[in-house]
Amino acid sequence: MKNRTIPFGYMMQNGEITTNPTEVLAVVTIFSDYLAGHSLLDIAKRMEVPYSEGSVWNKNMVKRILENEKYLGTDRFPQLISEEMFRAVNEKKSRKATSLCVLPEDMKIVRNLAVCKECGGRLFRKNELWDCRNSGCYRFQFQLTDQMLTGAVLTVLNSVIANPSLLECDSEVGRYAPDAEIIRRENEIRHKMDAANPDFDRTKAEILELAQLKYSRCAYSDTPQKTAVLRDILAGKEQLNTLDTGLLKSCVERISVSHFCTVEVELINGVTIKNTTERSNIT
């Protein structure tokens, strides 16, 4: 890849820096598209004029162009962008950066819990809209707003408050099921004990080994304890009008959103409750 020695939009001619007509049009298009609402990544994908020899456009290149004050004109560089357009673009960039950084506390918690149902990756939130932009996955088919997502979670929490039976799941504290190896060893020990002259010391050692093997096959689940914790937390709770951040953190393990806007709330005991949001088509 050949690095540029002068900014995009300009070229060297007869020892002086002058405008490159094809690139000037691209620069103006970048500023116009950004003001029209296109993202840096979208603009990069739309660029047909190469940034430099052997390079591929990316959002960082677009960002540098939008911030380059040389396009306002200097002693060496002709003006490509009006001061009004340059100021409008960078004011918009500042507003977007601020809106991305300022996030309500309840949305911070939801963002930490929310994942894409299809790929399992974290969801992306921008301008109060949620989407999946993870590599190898694909975008939502419907708009999912803050209100829609929090409303779905709120409905699930109110449902379990009103109906504690929803917390129940088929699980035991401990579960044991003998496998083929254990059954084989049990039979061997039984045959040895039934022998005329059993080797008691050897058989005793094998019984102890079998006991250890059985213990290793026992599966332990803390689901009943977590279910009890949930019951204690939700006991006496009244129906919620807004998200309770403390309740959200203590009761919810994960919020999964499908590409068809089905929200699944997984509680800390592994119980998953679905809620389908009202769909709004992306236009």
Domain layout of the chain by residue ranges: 10-101, 105-170+223-281, 177-217
pLDDT at 45: 94
Long-range contacts from 100-108, C-beta under 8 angstroms, 24+ separation = 100/126, 105/245, 106/150, 106/242, 106/243, 106/245, 106/248, 107/146, 107/150
Q: What are phi and psi of 126, to 5 degrees?
A: -150, 130
Side chain identity at 56, as an amino acid letter?
V
Angle at 120 between CA 119 and CA 123, to 5 degrees: 95
For residue 135, count other CB atoms closer than 10 A to its CB.
Answer: 6
pLDDT at 283: 42
pLDDT at 4: 72
pLDDT at 62: 95
3-state secondary structure of 129: strand
pLDDT at 98: 60
For residue 258, count other CB atoms closer than 10 A to its CB.
Answer: 16
pLDDT at 77: 94
| Integer Cα distance of 21 and 44 in angstroms | 19
Q: Which residues contact 255 (CB under 8 A, 6 or more apart)?
A: 110, 113, 114, 115, 149, 153, 263, 264, 265, 266
- Which of 184, 272, 170 lies closest to 221 in space, CA to CA? 170
The kind and range of the H/E element at 10 are strand 10-13
Instruction: pLDDT tens for the chain, 283 residues: list them.
Output: 456 789 999 999 998 999 999 999 999 999 999 999 999 999 999 999 999 888 899 999 999 999 999 999 998 999 999 999 999 999 988 877 665 555 778 888 999 999 998 898 999 888 788 999 888 888 888 888 988 999 999 999 999 999 998 888 754 434 556 777 877 887 788 877 778 788 878 878 888 887 787 767 665 567 888 989 999 999 989 999 988 989 999 999 999 999 887 899 999 998 999 875 443 444 4
pTM metric for this prediction: 0.50
Residue in this structure with the two tokens 């045959």, named with its chain if needed: 191
- Which of 113, 100, 183 lies closest to 149 in space, CA to CA? 113
Q: Residue 63 burial by CB count (10 A; 0-12/13-18/19+): exposed, middle or buried?
A: middle
pLDDT at 279: 39
